């Protein structure tokens, strides 16, 4: 059956190794935009790994266009998320502290606890500002001086960047994209209900098909677009591989060559294994967790168990014991930040991650 239904057979380790070491590795815009969502050290690891791919790296013109179009939004989102964390943490801490202090009748003790907590929180905010300066690109400055884009300009240039299609070719591709959307054919058909112009995915796909015809080698497409169902085949939420119909279509464009898809974290795991890149496990894990991060938990989202824990610690701290006050601070910060990933260079203090681990270990 394999000769007839080859698109239903997922590549084994030997085929994957061949694709990674010999094939074109094409990047979608969302993979490039992830560079703004990690810290400086992790960002450099990723860029170094991409550079090591060399001339086998390929960024479709449409993917590069979508990167440029969404770059400032990605910068803003990363900066805004980081900026909101300290504010939301302080609000969550103060609201919970106010509630938990009510049972303590001695006003002097209450004031002492509040002053001690406020002082320690100010130290945290100072360190947090330092982390922001070191790892988050400022939108105002990066609007014209973006070190990520500078690196991508260098890495994805010449034959590594797809050519801009002519007006006629672009129109033909858009018409084909709309036809496929109307017929429910991937990729891009899942965007029809959410986007006014849902042709972008097919425009990328058309370039990949064209590239495959000329490159005469396998293709690995790196996209984080895994949730819509028009790129990846999934079973009970688990990604199995590219949709069989995409594999079949690519086989028609490039007979005898394999096609596969992975997300950015998986690409870096594979390049570590097969071409000796040096991306840390922490960086790969951070990219994987990015897919699950939604938003910072606010004070209203603190669970009853968390509030009870804070109240218990404040009661223990009523003796003005500094150790208990520090424990209270770390636990409150950790619980308020549950669900947020903040990365930093391996050689720098990781106060927030330490606090989160502290909470998990002590709970």
Instruction: Report the C-alpha gap between 205 and 181 in whole angstroms.
Output: 13
* Predicted local distance difference test score (pLDDT) of residue 297: 34
Taking all residues of the chain, what is their mean pLDDT, rounded to a whole number? Answer: 80
- Split at pLDDT 50, 70, 90, the class of 193 is confident
Q: What is the pLDDT of residue 293?
A: 56
Q: Which of 181-190, 256-265, 294-303 has the lowest mean pLDDT?
A: 294-303
At 232 the pLDDT is 93
Going by pLDDT thresholds of 50, 70 and 90, the confidence category of residue 338 is very low
Q: What is the pLDDT of residue 139?
A: 83
- What are residue 132's phi and psi, to 5 degrees? -60, -45
Cα–Cα distance measured from residue 336 to residue 160, given in angstroms and rounded to the nearest whole number: 44
Mean pLDDT of the 180-201 span: 86
| Cα separation values, 225 from 29, 46, 289, Å | 10, 19, 15
How many C-alpha atoms does 254 have within 13 Å on its Cβ side?
Answer: 24
Residue pair 218/19 in contact by the 8 Å Cβ criterion: yes
Is the per-residue pLDDT at 152 higher than 50?
yes
pTM of this prediction? 0.74
Query: Is the pLDDT higher at 291 or at 247?
Result: 247
Report helix, strand or coil for 238: strand
């Amino acid at each position: 059956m394999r000769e007839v239904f080859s698109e239903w057979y997922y590549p084994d380790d030997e085929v994957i190794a061949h694709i990674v070491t010999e094939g074109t590795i094409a990047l979608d815009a969302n993979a490039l935009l992830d560079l703004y969502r990690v810290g400086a050290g992790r960002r450099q690891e990723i860029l170094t790994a991409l550079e090591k791919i060399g001339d086998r790296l390929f960024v479709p013109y449409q993917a590069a266009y979508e990167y440029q179009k969404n770059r400032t939004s990605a910068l803003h989102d990363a900066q805004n998320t980081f900026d909101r964390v300290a504010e939301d943490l302080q609000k969550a801490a103060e609201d919970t502290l106010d509630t938990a202090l009510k049972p303590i009748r001695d006003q002097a003790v209450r004031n002492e606890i509040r002053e001690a907590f406020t002082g320690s929180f100010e130290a945290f905010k100072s360190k947090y500002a330092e982390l922001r300066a070191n790892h988050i690109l400022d939108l105002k400055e990066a609007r014209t001086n973006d070190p990520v884009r500078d690196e991508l300009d260098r890495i994805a240039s010449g034959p590594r960047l797809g050519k801009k299609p002519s007006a006629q070719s672009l129109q033909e591709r858009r018409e084909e994209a709309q036809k496929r959307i109307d017929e429910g054919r991937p990729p891009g058909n899942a965007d029809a209900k959410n986007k006014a112009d849902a042709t972008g995915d097919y425009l990328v796909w058309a370039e990949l098909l064209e590239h495959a015809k000329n490159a005469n080698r396998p293709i690995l497409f790196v996209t984080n677009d895994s949730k819509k169902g028009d790129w990846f085949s999934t079973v009970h939420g688990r990604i199995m591989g590219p949709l069989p119909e995409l594999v079949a279509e690519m086989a028609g464009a490039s007979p005898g060559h394999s096609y596969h898809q992975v997300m950015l974290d998986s690409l870096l795991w594979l390049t570590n294994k097969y071409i000796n890149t040096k991306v840390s496990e922490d960086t790969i894990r951070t990219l994987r967790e990015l897919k699950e991060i939604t938003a910072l938990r606010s004070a209203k989202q603190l669970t009853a168990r968390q509030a009870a824990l804070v109240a218990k610690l404040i009661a223990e701290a009523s003796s003005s014991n500094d150790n208990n006050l520090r424990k209270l601070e770390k636990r409150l910060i950790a619980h308020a930040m549950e669900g947020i990933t903040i990365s930093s260079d391996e050689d720098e203090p990781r106060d927030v991650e330490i606090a989160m681990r502290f909470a998990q270990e002590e709970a």
